[in-house]
Amino acid sequence: MTDKMILKPSREKSLIRRHPWVFSGAVARVEGDPGLGDTVEVLSAQGERLGCAAYSPQSSIRARMWAFGEEDCSDDMCVLLTDKMRIAIYKRINNQLINTHNNGVRLIHAESDGLPGLIVDQYDNWLAVQFLTAGAEKWKAVIVEALAEITGLSNIYERSDADVRTLEGLAEVTGLLKGSIPPEEVTICENDLNYLVNIQKGHKTGFYLDQRDNRQLVAKYAKDRRVLNCFSYTGGFAVVCLASGASQVVSIDSSADVLELGKRNLVLNDLPTDRAEWLCADVFHELRAMRDRRESFDLIILDPPKFAPTVGQVRAAARGYKDINLLAFKLLKPGGILATFSCSGGVDRALFQKIVADAALDAGVEAQIIRQLSQASDHPIALNFPEGEYLKGLICQIN
């Protein structure tokens, strides 16, 4: 390997702890002429070999580690990547995350599985893949063939339409990589309930698989209760709450198309459609209107989109989170339950809890956290990469 990245003095500490990112400010110089996504050897200022990484000259994260220490990438990157993918996928199989009750699952979760920028989700017989970094993009062809061999699934569709690719100097891309184009809707099973997923155009890769466990946990509070489901998308929480005996579920989303899919998800599961109301509206505006109408609910679910992808956007995001939580607390009946989430990487768990606490204070209610929630276990959090914990949730109950 001829291309090398040499770090500034004392900037190797994070890599010794096996954190996978090398920021531009830690780099003293680059030797050779690596291109976008090329593999470079990473050395300390004293010449100690720290591992090998994918080079990204336009990103503030200048390199992402493929391997640490003496493990060598130069001999055969194809073998290294395939072995990492095989380990990640076999973990899901061995942990029985893929079975007759669940055929929608995340198979590879980027840095947390040692594969920076690579996301692979399985929806029944289709794989939806995101290549979010220069290194993942560089090895796309190898990755696709390895996925087909490991999983036995030949239908692979790309959903690399996330704006984070622009930070890597990459254009957004979608399209068929192998096999057949997925139908407009694929049916998956999650905990014995069925959902229609649009792999080609749905949010993320089509569905919020990371909320699988949380849907089950929140639904335990739904029986005989009036539920407000905000930012409902295709009705994941609405389905489980009605299946658990909710007396009514009111779902709000700004997209009429996803609400229509939510309605069809109820029919797909033979659930009572007369207990469901679907509102195409801005959640912030609708919550204020409900407050003014003095409406009330027993259970409110807040699952908003990413308000703060980066730390620089936290201040504005905090205002948004506080507003919706404050309004939700005001709409709860005495003893009511609030299930509130943040998927913003820039908002850590401690800050999110503070925001919710401030919202309760301003709403004039006393509340307790009765459960803390995180992402499903097929979205693991590597101990050496705490940034992998992006989904934070709280179940709160007011007095």
Of 29, 47, 68, which closes a domain? 68
How far is the C-alpha of 85 from the C-alpha of 146, rounded, in Å?
8
Same domain, 286 and 307: yes
Say if residue 384 is exposed, middle or buried (CB neighbours under 10 Å; 0-12, 13-18, 19+): middle
pLDDT digits (tens, 9 = 90+) for 117-151: 999 999 999 999 999 999 999 999 999 999 999 99
- Count the alpha carbons within 13 Å of 269 in the hemisphere toward its beta carbon: 27
Percent above pLDDT 90 for the chain: 91
Annotated catalytic residues are 343
Domain for residue 155, yes or no?
A: yes
Domain for residue 190, yes or no?
A: no
Domain for residue 258, yes or no?
A: yes
Examine the pLDDT at 308 and tell me if it is beyond 80. Answer: no
Number of domains in the chain: 3
Determine the longest span between alpha carbons in the chain, in angstroms.
70
The model's confidence at residue 76, banded by pLDDT at 50, 70 and 90, is confident
Strands 297-302 and 226-230 turn out to be parallel
Assign 287 to helix, strand or coil: helix
Q: Which amino acid is at 96?
A: Q
Residue 23 makes CB contacts below 8 A (sequence gap 6+) with: 60, 61, 62
Q: Which of 76, 154, 88 has its CA nearest to residue 120?
A: 88
Q: Which of 98, 85, 101, 105 has its CA nearest to residue 375?
A: 105
Residue 185 makes CB contacts below 8 A (sequence gap 6+) with: 196, 197, 198, 261
The model's confidence at residue 1, banded by pLDDT at 50, 70 and 90, is low
Residue 269 belongs to a domain with what CATH number?
3.40.50.150
Which tokens is 355 given?
């925001």
Domain for residue 191, yes or no?
A: no
Examine the pLDDT at 58 and tell me if it is beyond 90. Answer: yes
Measure CA of the first residue to CA of the last residue in the chain; give whole Å.
63
Residue 159 belongs to a domain with what CATH number?
3.30.750.80
Same domain, 60 and 14: yes
Assign 344 to helix, strand or coil: coil
Same domain, 90 and 41: no
Q: Which of 119, 190, 136 has its CA nearest to residue 390?
A: 119
pLDDT digits (tens, 9 = 90+) for 209-249: 999 999 999 999 999 999 999 999 999 999 999 999 999 99
Of 178, 195, 230, which closes a domain? 178
Range of the domain at 299: 208-398
Domain for residue 201, yes or no?
A: no
pTM of the model: 0.95
Which tokens is 252 given?
């709000």
